[in-house]
Amino acid sequence: MSRAETAELTPSPWWILSLFRSELTTTLRRWRTLALLGVLAAVPVLIGIAVKIETSDDGSVGGGGGGGGPAFLTQVTNNGLFLVFAALAATLPVFLPMAVGVVAGDAIAGEANGGTLRYLLVAPAGRTRLLLAKYASTLAFCLVATLVVALSALLVGALLFPLGEVTTISGTRISFGEGLLRAVLIALLVAASLTGIAALGLFLSTLTNSGIAAMAATVGLLITVQILGAIPQLHGIQPYLFPTHWLSFADILREPLYWTDITKNLELQVLYVAVFGAASWARFTTKDITV
């Protein structure tokens, strides 16, 4: 093959960026995706209204901080910014990873089931580039979904509760501006915490031609791992489960910041991305595409 022919088959960086943009646009335009984002946006609204209704005359939240609710919930009435932290803490264990699991599980299997996967693999796309574009669009959805929760919570918190200086977990006070910056950092950490389940879902998506099966398997595995993490007798394996350090983002509200558990969380997500990303590539590049 001549150099000119090779150049024709090698996609330019702009073409690869266009492939990612196309995948992301397709993902965000699906009614299922919009419904998931709508549900995520509604969670902070429900939390904010519930706290507002249950607020007693002295400004405290009825029922205190019991019942296993987010620790930030008792601070919401004093500062609406805490609704961002409470909403992220409430959605991270279940709602956010389920939404990501649905999108990741449908990434490859959904195309195969719809009969469009073979057309996407026409040169110069290639399997590796297509897989990377699918995963990149899933990661973008992780960020979008997290920001939807955070922005919805910030808006509701500003409408229903006062805003002002933030009291950290350590008892010190920081300005509202610094608290807002920490909220942005927390949102980024929450999005990063979802990269492991995204890689796992993508791998499961390469194992089947049924999008529903891949989505169900991803969500089912998420629920199973959550159950395993709640059994004290299984403490030996719990440090290696991807949700173990998800709520470590609360350490951003300490003074000074405490990075140990946050670092462990990020390292664990990188491990899952590396392992299941490699497994996805090995499976997808050798998969027999028949539909």
On average, the pLDDT of the chain sits at 84
Instruction: Please report which confidence band the pLDDT of residue 11 belongs to, taking 50, 70 and 90 as the band edges.
Output: low
Q: Is the pLDDT of residue 229 over 80?
A: yes
Q: How many CB atoms lie within 10 A of CB 58?
A: 6
pLDDT at 73: 78
Which residue type sits at 2? S
Mean pLDDT in residue range 148-173: 92
DSSP letter at 236?
A: T
Q: Is the pLDDT of residue 1 over 80?
A: no
Q: Is the pLDDT of residue 157 over 80?
A: yes
pLDDT at 75: 84
Mean pLDDT in residue range 69-97: 86
Q: What is the pTM of this model?
A: 0.86
Mean pLDDT in residue range 258-284: 94
pLDDT at 168: 86
pLDDT at 288: 62
Tens digits of residue pLDDT in 30-68: 899 999 999 999 999 999 999 888 775 455 554 444 434
pLDDT at 68: 40
The number of CA neighbours under 13 Å toward the Cβ of 20 is 18
pLDDT at 3: 41
Query: Which among 107, 171, 113, 94 is positioned nearest to 138, based on CA atoms?
Result: 107
Between vectors from CA 140 to CA 242 and to CA 199, what angle results, nearest 5°? Answer: 35
Instruction: Please report which confidence band the pLDDT of residue 120 belongs to, taking 50, 70 and 90 as the band edges.
Output: low
Place of tokens 């209704």: 53
Instruction: Please report which confidence band the pLDDT of residue 12 belongs to, taking 50, 70 and 90 as the band edges.
Output: low
Instruction: Please report which confidence band the pLDDT of residue 117 belongs to, taking 50, 70 and 90 as the band edges.
Output: low
Torsion of CA 224, 226, 109, 279, to 10 degrees: -90
The number of CA neighbours under 13 Å toward the Cβ of 263 is 4
